[in-house]
């Protein structure tokens, strides 16, 4: 892979984040945006809703897939913002979020002020994520990486997958 020259922020979001308002709003000028995931409809929508987006087919539950994504982000110059959405009712989803945050710590050290935005639907597995964030918090703070945990009610219909009447 070749390094990508950009002075703007480098943003990575999982495809589930496209269901959130943050995933549908315009990105900062000069931003290099990556959307990673494996849901065909969401990945197609990424291309339609985020002009210039770079789609990366990724299985967040597979360490080899995460490692390949991390290499691609490092080749781009690191990471300024990581946006992840997940279902707090599913322990596998929370484990994937934790693994993803740990995997991208080196990339998040690109420059001071990096940020991790976690958008999680409430559920029993959120307790494990809170414990994880409590334990890793001091390390993130010393690396000047901000973390925000946004809890929301479980969605009955996924907006990116819903059909319009």
* Domain range summary for the chain, segments of one domain joined by +: 15-152
What's the predicted TM-score (pTM) here? Answer: 0.89
Per-residue model confidence as pLDDT tens digits over 26-54: 788 889 999 999 999 999 989 888 888 99
Q: How many CB atoms lie within 10 A of CB 38?
A: 16
What is the domain class of 15-152 according to CATH? alpha beta
Per-residue model confidence as pLDDT tens digits over 54-75: 999 999 999 999 999 999 999 9
């Amino acid at each position: 892979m070749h390094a990508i020259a950009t002075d703007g922020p480098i943003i990575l979001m999982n495809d589930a984040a496209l269901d959130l308002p943050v995933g549908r709003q315009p990105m900062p000028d000069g931003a290099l945006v990556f959307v990673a995931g494996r849901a065909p409809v969401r990945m197609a929508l990424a291309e339609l809703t985020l002009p210039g987006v770079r789609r990366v087919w990724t299985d967040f539950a597979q360490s080899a897939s995460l490692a390949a994504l991390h290499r691609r982000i490092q080749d781009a110059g690191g990471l300024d913002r990581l946006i992840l959405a997940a279902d707090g009712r599913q322990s596998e989803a929370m484990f994937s979020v934790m693994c993803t945050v740990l995997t991208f710590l080196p990339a998040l050290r690109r420059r001071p002020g990096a940020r991790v935005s976690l958008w999680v639907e409430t559920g029993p597995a959120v307790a494990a994520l809170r414990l994880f964030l409590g334990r890793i918090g001091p390390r993130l703070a010393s690396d000047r990486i901000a973390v925000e945990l946004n809890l929301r009610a479980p969605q009955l219909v996924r907006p990116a997958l819903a059909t319009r009447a």
